Amino acid sequence: MTHFRRSSPDRVVRSRQPAHPAIITVEDFTQAQLLRRSKAAGGLRTARKAERSGRLTKRTYLFRGRVRCALCGRKMEASPRKHAMYYRCPARTLAPSSPALESHPSAVYLREDAIRKEINGWLAGLFHRDNIDQTVAPLAASQDQSGASSSREAAKKRVTDAETRIRRFQEAIEAGVDPAALTEKINEAQTERAAAKAELDATPTSSALSEVETHARIDSLGEIGPVLAHASPENLANLYTAIALQIRYQPEDHAVDVTIEPVGRVNSKGVGGGT
**Residue % of the chain over a pLDDT of 70:** 75
Distance CA 138, CA 206 (A): 17
Asked if residues 108 and 71 have their Cβ atoms less than 8 Å apart, the reply is yes
Pick the residue with more confidence: 49 or 172?
Answer: 172
Which contacts qualify for 131-134: CB closer than 8 Å, 24 or more apart? 132/215, 132/218
DSSP string, 103-164: T--SEEEEEHHHHHHHHHHHHHHHTSTTTHHHHHHHHHHHGGG-HHHHHHHHHHHHHHHHHH
Distance CA 85, CA 62 (A): 10
Does position 26 have pLDDT exceeding 60, yes or no? yes
* Backbone torsions φ then ψ of 246, nearest 5 degrees: -130, 135
For the segment 51-81, what is each residue's pLDDT rounded down to a tens digit?
Answer: 444 555 567 788 988 999 999 999 999 888 8
pTM value?
Answer: 0.50
DSSP H stretches of helix in the chain: 26-41, 43-49, 112-126, 132-142, 147-174, 179-202, 211-221, 224-229, 233-242
For residue 102, what is the DSSP state? G
Identify which of 162, 223, 230 has the alpha carbon closest to the alpha carbon of residue 194. 162
For the segment 76-101, what is each residue's pLDDT rounded down to a tens digit?
Answer: 998 888 888 999 999 988 888 888 88
What are the structural domain ranges in the chain?
Answer: 116-144+210-259, 147-202
Does position 189 have pLDDT exceeding 50, yes or no? yes
Does position 266 have pLDDT exceeding 70, yes or no? no
Which of 132-154 are b and which e, b meaning 16 or more Cβ less than 10 Å from the residue's Cβ? Answer: beebbeebbebbeebebbeebee
Amino acid symbol at 261? E
**pLDDT band at residue 265 under the 50/70/90 scheme:** very low
For 65, left (φ over 0), alpha (ψ -120 to 50), or beta? left
For helices 179-202 and 147-174, the axis angle rounded to 10 degrees is: 160
